[in-house]
Amino acid sequence: MDRSRIRILIVDDHEIFRAGLRLLLENEPDLNVIGEAHNKTEAFQAVRNLPDVILLDLDLGAEMATDFLPDLVKAGEPARVLVLTGVPDPELHFQAVRLGAVGVVHKLEAPQLLLKAIRKVHEGEVWMNRALVARAISRVQTQGRAKTDPDAAKISNLTARELEIITTCRRRPKKQGHRRAAVYLGEDGATLYDVDLHQARSRRPAGTDDLCLPARSCNAAVPRRYP
Protein backbone atom coordinates (compact mmCIF):
# COMPACT_ATOMS: atom_id res chain seq x y z
CA MET A 1 0.00 0.00 0.00
CA ASP A 2 1.37 3.37 -1.09
CA ARG A 3 1.37 5.66 1.96
CA SER A 4 3.56 8.33 0.35
CA ARG A 5 0.45 9.94 -1.15
CA ILE A 6 -2.62 11.24 0.66
CA ARG A 7 -5.37 8.65 0.21
CA ILE A 8 -8.74 10.29 -0.43
CA LEU A 9 -12.30 8.98 -0.35
CA ILE A 10 -14.98 11.05 -2.14
CA VAL A 11 -18.54 10.85 -0.77
CA ASP A 12 -20.98 12.75 -2.99
CA ASP A 13 -24.27 11.84 -4.65
CA HIS A 14 -23.49 13.53 -7.99
CA GLU A 15 -21.56 11.28 -10.36
CA ILE A 16 -20.43 14.10 -12.67
CA PHE A 17 -19.07 16.07 -9.73
CA ARG A 18 -17.21 13.02 -8.39
CA ALA A 19 -15.64 12.42 -11.81
CA GLY A 20 -14.46 16.01 -12.12
CA LEU A 21 -13.14 16.06 -8.58
CA ARG A 22 -11.22 12.83 -9.15
CA LEU A 23 -9.51 14.36 -12.20
CA LEU A 24 -8.55 17.43 -10.20
CA LEU A 25 -7.13 15.45 -7.28
CA GLU A 26 -5.27 12.83 -9.28
CA ASN A 27 -3.51 15.56 -11.22
CA GLU A 28 -1.64 16.29 -7.98
CA PRO A 29 1.42 14.07 -7.41
CA ASP A 30 0.81 13.77 -3.66
CA LEU A 31 -2.92 12.93 -3.83
CA ASN A 32 -4.54 9.57 -4.59
CA VAL A 33 -8.30 8.91 -4.84
CA ILE A 34 -8.79 5.41 -3.45
CA GLY A 35 -12.59 5.27 -3.59
CA GLU A 36 -15.94 6.91 -4.25
CA ALA A 37 -19.34 6.63 -2.59
CA HIS A 38 -22.69 8.24 -3.29
CA ASN A 39 -24.55 7.32 -0.08
CA LYS A 40 -24.15 6.20 3.52
CA THR A 41 -23.93 2.47 2.77
CA GLU A 42 -21.21 2.87 0.17
CA ALA A 43 -19.31 5.31 2.40
CA PHE A 44 -19.07 2.79 5.25
CA GLN A 45 -17.93 0.12 2.84
CA ALA A 46 -15.32 2.40 1.26
CA VAL A 47 -13.67 3.40 4.56
CA ARG A 48 -12.38 -0.19 4.74
CA ASN A 49 -9.83 0.91 2.12
CA LEU A 50 -8.23 3.09 4.81
CA PRO A 51 -8.41 6.63 3.41
CA ASP A 52 -6.44 9.44 5.01
CA VAL A 53 -9.01 12.11 4.16
CA ILE A 54 -12.74 11.73 3.49
CA LEU A 55 -14.31 14.45 1.34
CA LEU A 56 -17.95 14.45 2.43
CA ASP A 57 -20.92 16.29 0.96
CA LEU A 58 -23.58 17.12 3.55
CA ASP A 59 -26.59 16.75 1.25
CA LEU A 60 -26.56 13.28 -0.29
CA GLY A 61 -30.00 13.56 -1.84
CA ALA A 62 -32.05 11.00 0.05
CA GLU A 63 -30.07 11.47 3.27
CA MET A 64 -28.09 14.06 5.20
CA ALA A 65 -24.50 13.26 6.14
CA THR A 66 -24.96 14.87 9.55
CA ASP A 67 -27.23 11.95 10.47
CA PHE A 68 -24.32 9.47 10.32
CA LEU A 69 -21.24 11.69 10.53
CA PRO A 70 -20.14 10.65 14.06
CA ASP A 71 -20.37 6.96 13.09
CA LEU A 72 -18.43 7.59 9.88
CA VAL A 73 -15.68 9.39 11.81
CA LYS A 74 -15.44 6.45 14.19
CA ALA A 75 -15.50 3.81 11.42
CA GLY A 76 -12.89 5.64 9.37
CA GLU A 77 -10.38 6.41 12.13
CA PRO A 78 -7.75 7.74 11.81
CA ALA A 79 -9.10 9.29 8.58
CA ARG A 80 -10.06 12.95 8.85
CA VAL A 81 -13.39 14.16 7.47
CA LEU A 82 -13.36 17.34 5.40
CA VAL A 83 -16.80 18.58 4.40
CA LEU A 84 -17.01 19.60 0.74
CA THR A 85 -20.52 20.86 0.17
CA GLY A 86 -22.76 23.14 -1.84
CA VAL A 87 -25.11 23.66 1.10
CA PRO A 88 -24.79 27.37 2.07
CA ASP A 89 -26.13 26.99 5.63
CA PRO A 90 -23.47 28.14 8.16
CA GLU A 91 -25.38 26.53 11.02
CA LEU A 92 -25.24 23.17 9.26
CA HIS A 93 -21.50 23.64 8.68
CA PHE A 94 -21.02 24.34 12.39
CA GLN A 95 -23.07 21.27 13.27
CA ALA A 96 -20.85 19.13 11.03
CA VAL A 97 -17.75 20.36 12.87
CA ARG A 98 -19.37 19.61 16.21
CA LEU A 99 -20.13 16.09 14.97
CA GLY A 100 -16.51 15.37 14.06
CA ALA A 101 -15.58 17.04 10.76
CA VAL A 102 -12.24 18.87 10.87
CA GLY A 103 -13.09 21.45 8.25
CA VAL A 104 -15.55 22.79 5.70
CA VAL A 105 -14.96 23.86 2.10
CA HIS A 106 -17.75 25.22 -0.08
CA LYS A 107 -18.00 23.87 -3.62
CA LEU A 108 -17.88 27.42 -4.96
CA GLU A 109 -14.36 27.91 -3.61
CA ALA A 110 -11.33 27.86 -5.91
CA PRO A 111 -9.79 24.42 -6.60
CA GLN A 112 -6.45 25.50 -5.14
CA LEU A 113 -8.13 26.30 -1.85
CA LEU A 114 -9.59 22.79 -1.68
CA LEU A 115 -6.19 21.24 -2.39
CA LYS A 116 -4.65 23.33 0.36
CA ALA A 117 -7.42 22.35 2.79
CA ILE A 118 -6.86 18.64 2.08
CA ARG A 119 -3.16 18.89 2.80
CA LYS A 120 -3.70 20.95 5.95
CA VAL A 121 -6.24 18.60 7.54
CA HIS A 122 -4.03 15.64 6.63
CA GLU A 123 -1.25 17.34 8.59
CA GLY A 124 -3.52 17.54 11.61
CA GLU A 125 -4.86 21.05 11.25
CA VAL A 126 -8.46 22.28 11.20
CA TRP A 127 -9.82 24.12 8.16
CA MET A 128 -12.54 26.74 8.75
CA ASN A 129 -13.54 29.85 6.84
CA ARG A 130 -14.04 33.17 8.61
CA ALA A 131 -17.80 32.75 8.99
CA LEU A 132 -17.37 29.39 10.72
CA VAL A 133 -14.66 30.72 13.02
CA ALA A 134 -16.85 33.71 13.93
CA ARG A 135 -19.76 31.40 14.75
CA ALA A 136 -17.55 29.18 16.91
CA ILE A 137 -16.22 32.19 18.84
CA SER A 138 -19.76 33.49 19.31
CA ARG A 139 -20.86 30.14 20.77
CA VAL A 140 -17.94 30.10 23.19
CA GLN A 141 -18.70 33.66 24.32
CA THR A 142 -22.38 32.83 24.77
CA GLN A 143 -21.51 29.81 26.91
CA GLY A 144 -19.18 31.98 28.96
CA ARG A 145 -21.94 34.50 29.64
CA ALA A 146 -24.28 31.70 30.65
CA LYS A 147 -21.76 30.56 33.26
CA THR A 148 -21.50 34.03 34.79
CA ASP A 149 -25.20 34.93 34.53
CA PRO A 150 -27.23 32.78 36.99
CA ASP A 151 -30.52 33.24 35.10
CA ALA A 152 -28.92 32.48 31.73
CA ALA A 153 -27.30 29.39 33.19
CA LYS A 154 -30.65 28.15 34.51
CA ILE A 155 -32.37 28.76 31.19
CA SER A 156 -29.61 26.94 29.29
CA ASN A 157 -30.15 23.86 31.48
CA LEU A 158 -33.92 23.67 30.97
CA THR A 159 -35.34 20.66 29.20
CA ALA A 160 -37.42 21.08 26.05
CA ARG A 161 -40.58 20.41 28.09
CA GLU A 162 -39.68 23.03 30.68
CA LEU A 163 -39.04 25.61 27.96
CA GLU A 164 -42.42 24.74 26.47
CA ILE A 165 -44.09 25.38 29.83
CA ILE A 166 -42.44 28.77 30.20
CA THR A 167 -43.30 29.79 26.65
CA THR A 168 -46.91 28.75 27.20
CA CYS A 169 -47.13 30.78 30.39
CA ARG A 170 -45.76 33.86 28.69
CA ARG A 171 -48.43 33.62 26.00
CA ARG A 172 -51.36 32.99 28.32
CA PRO A 173 -53.68 35.97 29.05
CA LYS A 174 -53.59 37.38 32.53
CA LYS A 175 -56.94 35.88 33.30
CA GLN A 176 -58.51 32.61 32.28
CA GLY A 177 -61.65 32.62 34.35
CA HIS A 178 -60.14 33.34 37.75
CA ARG A 179 -56.84 31.53 37.15
CA ARG A 180 -53.39 32.63 36.06
CA ALA A 181 -50.18 30.68 35.65
CA ALA A 182 -46.75 31.30 37.10
CA VAL A 183 -43.56 29.37 36.56
CA TYR A 184 -40.78 29.00 39.07
CA LEU A 185 -37.48 27.23 38.76
CA GLY A 186 -36.12 25.50 41.83
CA GLU A 187 -33.31 23.07 42.44
CA ASP A 188 -35.20 20.21 40.77
CA GLY A 189 -36.43 22.03 37.67
CA ALA A 190 -39.47 23.95 36.46
CA THR A 191 -42.76 23.88 38.32
CA LEU A 192 -46.06 25.25 37.03
CA TYR A 193 -48.35 26.86 39.57
CA ASP A 194 -52.05 27.60 38.97
CA VAL A 195 -52.67 30.67 41.05
CA ASP A 196 -56.07 31.83 42.25
CA LEU A 197 -56.22 35.58 41.60
CA HIS A 198 -59.03 35.98 44.12
CA GLN A 199 -56.57 35.25 46.91
CA ALA A 200 -55.37 38.61 48.11
CA ARG A 201 -52.27 37.48 49.98
CA SER A 202 -49.41 36.12 47.88
CA ARG A 203 -45.90 34.90 48.53
CA ARG A 204 -43.09 33.30 46.57
CA PRO A 205 -42.65 29.56 47.23
CA ALA A 206 -39.59 28.85 49.34
CA GLY A 207 -36.42 27.87 47.51
CA THR A 208 -37.57 29.08 44.09
CA ASP A 209 -36.65 31.92 41.73
CA ASP A 210 -39.12 33.75 39.52
CA LEU A 211 -38.20 33.34 35.86
CA CYS A 212 -40.97 34.50 33.57
CA LEU A 213 -44.03 36.02 35.24
CA PRO A 214 -44.32 38.42 38.21
CA ALA A 215 -43.65 36.54 41.43
CA ARG A 216 -47.26 36.11 42.51
CA SER A 217 -48.43 32.87 44.02
CA CYS A 218 -50.57 32.23 47.06
CA ASN A 219 -51.06 30.00 50.01
CA ALA A 220 -53.48 27.89 47.97
CA ALA A 221 -51.19 27.53 44.95
CA VAL A 222 -50.97 23.92 43.85
CA PRO A 223 -47.70 22.93 42.13
CA ARG A 224 -47.77 20.57 39.16
CA ARG A 225 -44.33 19.17 38.37
CA TYR A 226 -43.60 18.57 34.68
CA PRO A 227 -40.74 16.14 33.90
- List, for residues 164-221, the tens digit of each pLDDT value: 555 555 444 444 444 444 444 444 444 444 443 333 334 434 444 433 333 333 333 3
Using alpha carbons, select from 107, 11, 125, 17 the residue that is nearest to residue 68.
11
Domain topology for 6-139? Rossmann fold (3.40.50)
Domain boundaries defined on the chain? 6-139, 156-225
Residues whose CB falls within 8 Å of the CB of residue 188, separated by 6 or more in sequence, listed in order: 225
pLDDT at 3: 73
Count of positions (residues) in the chain? 227
Lowest-confidence region among 67-71, 78-82, 87-91: 87-91
Please tell me the pTM assigned to this model.
0.62
- pLDDT score for 188: 44
